[in-house]
Chain A
């Protein structure tokens, strides 16, 4: 499995854009990059997924450079409700890519203040 490295914590204020970078130097050719969000005492929630370049959905953008050794989750104009732990996941084998047997790292705790 590709090892991921993320900042342990980040602080932001409401209305700011937040960028969380994940390093995954050993990413394999067939790996996708997936981000999950988790609020306290709840299960993680899928945010966004990508393979290369840029992916955007209604909640976030994911930027992946050409070498794919890192990725950046961008949250536009965060609010207090975006305070959560954000996990970057990269998998190697078929089962992982099927949304099963996910291996979570420590994640990044984002704290948004007013």
Chain B
């Protein structure tokens, strides 16, 4: 079974530009979550999409947005890039469903997109 695929793997952008990152989840997974990882702040949750709807959102400015398509693939967009947006952006897929009587489901992470803003 193919894993989570993120494209591109590396990206260099100029301050003020915008960028779009892509994530293809594991087949059958309906949830895609996005995370930002920096040396200073660690791994931070950005947002989660489930069945094309944003279901959870972290504490990031509106410059960070995302969407999910009917095939569960997801994109995240960052507008008006700042130097501080340089980070490893990770996406994770999971079944995304749980109930109090059900066990947790694990998240499967991609290898990430390394974004450098200059």
Contact = CB atoms under 8 A, between A and B. Distances in A.
A106 B94 CA distance: 22
A34 B31 CA distance: 18
Contacts of A42: 109, 111-112
In which size bucket is the chain B interface? Answer: 20 to 34
Given A30-B100, A43-B4, A99 B112 contact: no
Interface string A45-64: 11001000000000000000
Contact of A105 (B42, B100, B106, B111): B42
A101 B56 contact: yes
A30 B104 CA distance: 10
Interface in A77-102: 87, 91, 94-95, 97-102
7 contacts: A30-B100, A41-B111, A41-B114, A44-B107, A44-B109, A98-B98, A99-B96
- Closest 7 A/B residue pairs (Cβ): A43-B109, A99-B94, A98-B98, A104-B43, A46-B106, A101-B56, A99-B107
